[in-house]
Amino acid sequence: MHRSRTQSWDGATELTSAAYFPHRLVPKGHAAPDFRIAAVDYGPVTIGRVSFGAELAIECEYPGAIEINFPLVGAVESRLGSAEFGAARGQATIFDADQRHDITRWTTDCEVIAVKFDAAWLREQAARGFDAGPGLQLPHQLDLRRASTADWFRLLRGLHSSGVSGGPVAPMLADAVATSFLLASLPDPDHGRGVNDRTAATVVRPVLEALAADPGRNWTALEMAEIGQVSIRRLQEAFRKTLGQTPRQKLLELRLEHARAQLRAGRGSVTEISADLGFSNPGRFAAAYRRRWGVLPSEDVPRWALQHPPGRQRLLTLQPA
- CATH for 197-321, among 1.10.10.10, 1.10.10.60, 3.40.50.300, 2.130.10.10? 1.10.10.60
Three-state DSSP at 47 gives: strand
65-95 pLDDT, tens digit each = 999 999 999 999 999 999 999 999 999 999 9
What is this structure's pTM?
0.81
In this predicted structure, the answer to whether residue 193 has a pLDDT above a threshold of 80 is no
125-143 b/e (C-beta count within 10 Å ≥ 16 → b) = bbeebbebeeebebeebbe
In this predicted structure, the answer to whether residue 210 has a pLDDT above a threshold of 80 is yes
26-76 pLDDT, tens digit each = 999 888 999 999 999 999 999 999 999 999 999 999 999 999 999 999 999
Q: What is the mean pLDDT of the chain?
A: 88
- The yes or no reply on domain 2-161 and CATH 2.60.40.10 is no
Distance (Å, rounded) from C-alpha 149 to C-alpha 260? 34
- Residue 81 sits at φ, ψ, to 5 deg, of 60, -125
Helix (H) or strand (E) holding 146: none
- Amino acid letter, 170: A
- Amino acid letter, 14: E
Which sequence spans correspond to the domains of the chain?
2-161, 197-321
Burial (0-12, 13-18, 19+ Cβ within 10 Å), 289: buried
- Tell me the CA end-to-end span of the chain in Å, nearest whole number: 22
